[in-house]
Amino acid sequence: MPREILLADGRSVEVDCLSCALTSGLITPTGGVIFESSNFHVHQDVGYPIRGLVIIASKRHFYCIDELTEEEQSEYMALIHKVRQKQRERLGIEKVYYFYNEDTTHHFHLWMVPRYEWMNRLGRSVESLRPVLLHARNEMNTEENMKGVMEGIHLLREALRAEIDGS
């Protein structure tokens, strides 16, 4: 079923799959693309304003991990590794929670949610994911916090691109 979505610039487009529209560049996520590899696309969902939170989505339209080709499997692990390394080096992120559900309404995408001190009062491990994300969405959409989030996107983008350019 095609869905009607409203772009940030006011235009509205009809898309069959939001993830395809995003990874093909039809829609630009707020804050821009952090990184693109042959088969994957890295961006932040600023709807959950947590500095360093990253989503790695496949460009190809599929849902389950056993649908990854061999090429995608190795590219995927190398990419997660690289993003995680940059989160640590550039943003000082010590621990990350990973979340991925195959019954998504989008397609294959991994959430990398940095773990910060303030999250501890909302619980630990997988049970804390929902309260943490809701808290971020409802309470952290401030100008000051968003500045930090945008800076995080910028730092990760710079770090990942520098690596590819070999500089």
Give the residues lining the site for Zn ion (CB under 5 A): 17, 19-20, 61, 107
19 vs 39, beta carbon nearer Zn ion: 19
Element (H, E) at 14: strand 12-15
Closest distance to Zn ion from the beta carbon of 161 (Å): 25
Closest distance to Zn ion from the beta carbon of 18 (Å): 8
Q: What is the dihedral of CA 104, 110, 114, 115, to 10 degrees?
A: 60
60 vs 115, beta carbon nearer Zn ion: 60
109 vs 157, beta carbon nearer Zn ion: 109
Neighbouring CB atoms inside 10 A of 160's CB total 21
Look at the alpha carbons of 139, 142, 144, 149 in this order and tell me if their dihedral is positive or negative: positive
The tokens of 107 are what?
Answer: 């397609």
Closest distance to Zn ion from the beta carbon of 134 (Å): 26
Closest distance to Zn ion from the beta carbon of 35 (Å): 19
3 vs 124, beta carbon nearer Zn ion: 3
